[in-house]
């Protein structure tokens, strides 16, 4: 098996049906990674070039008209045997895959993917300028800014770190408050967890891009170049922010052994035994583990050891700020 890159174009009907979330889930379930993405309007000439191998087919003109009629979503995907997995297992040959489940016909068939490694290379080359344009726009949007995303297991000290960063001129923002603003604009009155779950199931990138807009707006309103956001949950948000914001985004994982967390829990709650502390802490840890918090440690730019004194912790945070000065 070889590491390959390939392409997924979610067609207008795939976007209308809210299938981006399912496509992303299938990509991840097959051990593949999205390395780039962009919304785009593809003009007739570009779509004709993409489908040039099918120029003699009776449906050629109709599919070109459909794919170029409105916005599509581009995903560049990488992994072992990515071309085969995407084309034949995820997008699928009828009646299998997502096409088999959701296609209306040969034209409105949800998504396109190249059928060979050579085709994948050619199509990615055709669309690379779109991915580059998106990155250039993001570099301008995030220029001079730095976001520290605080995460870790239960009672690891995220709030302590956030408060200290605030005292050092790095305002502390709550992730949940930013999502509440999005909810209030799009679906006021809906329970927040259900709103986030629904939006991430349909098309998480739309929700996460709205999150970035709220975040940058808040930074501009406050006239600050650095903020912390707390608390970063597991799943796709952190990796997406890391990928889109690049060096302007820093995952900070607050690390502390379970035994120390239990002892601190005992002191805080005035408990008499570790068993009492375990009853409080371990169920919360299971929720964190299920949501993917430990996986964020693997991609964190900073892992801060909070097993010593507050003075040591503050020194580590100061050193981190020096490393990430803007």
Shared-domain flag, residues 110 and 244:
no
CATH code of the domain containing 282: 3.40.50.300
pLDDT band per the 50, 70, 90 thresholds, residue 2: confident
Over residues 192-213, the mean pLDDT reads 95
- So what's the pLDDT on residue 269? 87
Residues 77 and 177 grouped into a single domain: no
Q: How many domains does the chain have?
A: 2
Q: At what angle do helices 192-202 and 204-222 cross, to 10 degrees?
A: 120
pLDDT of 42 over the 90 cut: yes
pLDDT tens, position by position, 102-128:
999 989 999 999 999 999 999 999 999
The domain that contains 31 carries what CATH number?
3.30.70.141
Q: Are residues 153 and 95 in the same domain?
A: no
pLDDT at position 93 over 80: no
Task: Clarify whether residues 133 and 170 are in a common domain.
Answer: no
Same domain, 123 and 175: no
Share of the chain above pLDDT 90, in %: 92
Region of 292 (left: φ > 0; alpha: ψ -120 to 50; beta: rest) is left
132-178: per-residue pLDDT in tens? 999 999 999 999 999 999 999 998 999 999 999 999 999 999 999 99
Residue 17 CA to residue 6 CA, distance in Å, equals 23
Check pLDDT > 80 for residue 96. Answer: no
pTM for the model: 0.89
Q: What is the DSSP letter of 85?
A: I
Query: Average model confidence (pLDDT) for the chain?
Result: 94
Q: What percent of the chain has pLDDT over 70?
A: 99
Q: Sheet harboring 226-230: ordered strands across? A: 172-174, 226-230, 146-152, 249-255, 302-305
Q: Active site residue: 44, 89, 112, 248, which one?
A: 112
Q: Which of 107, 139, 171 is the last residue of a domain?
A: 139
Kindly tell me if the per-residue pLDDT of 326 is higher than 70: no
pLDDT band at 94 (very low <50, low <70, confident <90, very high): low
In the annotation, is 112 catalytic? yes
Q: For residue range 247-299, what is the model confidence (pLDDT) as tens digits?
A: 999 999 999 999 999 998 898 889 989 999 999 999 999 999 998 999 999 99
Last residue of a domain, one of 88, 108, 139: 139
Give the confidence band of 235 by pLDDT, cuts at 50, 70, 90: confident
CA distance 250 to 233: 14
Torsional sign, CA 228, 326, 303, 249: positive
pLDDT of 82 over the 80 cut: yes
């Amino acid at each position: 098996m070889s590491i390959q890159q390939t392409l997924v174009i979610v067609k207008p009907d795939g976007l209308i049906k809210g299938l981006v979330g399912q496509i992303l889930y299938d990509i991840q379930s097959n051990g593949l990674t999205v390395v780039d993405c962009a919304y785009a309007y593809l003009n007739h000439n570009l779509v004709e070039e993409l489908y040039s191998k099918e120029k003699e087919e009776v449906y050629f003109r109709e599919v070109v008209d459909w794919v170029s009629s409105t916005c599509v979503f581009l995903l560049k995907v990488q992994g072992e045997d990515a071309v085969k997995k995407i084309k034949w297992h995820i997008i699928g040959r009828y009646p299998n895959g997502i096409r088999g489940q959701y296609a209306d016909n040969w034209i409105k068939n949800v998504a396109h993917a190249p059928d060979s490694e050579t085709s994948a290379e050619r199509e990615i080359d055709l669309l690379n300028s779109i991915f580059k344009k998106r990155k250039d726009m993001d570099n301008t949007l995030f220029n001079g800014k730095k976001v520290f995303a605080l995460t870790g297991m239960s009672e690891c000290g995220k709030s302590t770190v956030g408060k200290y960063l605030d005292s050092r001129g790095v305002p502390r923002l709550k992730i949940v408050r930013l999502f509440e603003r999005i909810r209030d604009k799009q679906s006021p009155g809906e329970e927040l967890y259900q709103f986030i779950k629904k939006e991430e199931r349909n098309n998480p990138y739309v929700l996460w891009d709205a999150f970035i807009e709220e975040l940058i707006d808040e930074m501009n309103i406050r006239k600050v170049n650095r903020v912390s956001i707390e608390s970063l949950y597991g799943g796709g948000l952190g990796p997406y922010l890391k990928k889109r914001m690049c060096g302007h985004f820093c995952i900070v994982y607050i690390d502390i052994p379970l035994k120390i967390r239990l002892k601190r829990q005992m002191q805080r709650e005035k408990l008499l035994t570790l068993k009492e502390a375990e009853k409080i802490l371990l169920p919360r840890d299971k929720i964190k583990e299920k949501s993917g918090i430990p996986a964020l440690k693997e991609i964190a730019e900073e892992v801060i050891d909070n097993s010593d004194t507050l003075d040591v912790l503050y020194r580590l945070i100061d050193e981190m700020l020096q490393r990430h000065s803007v």
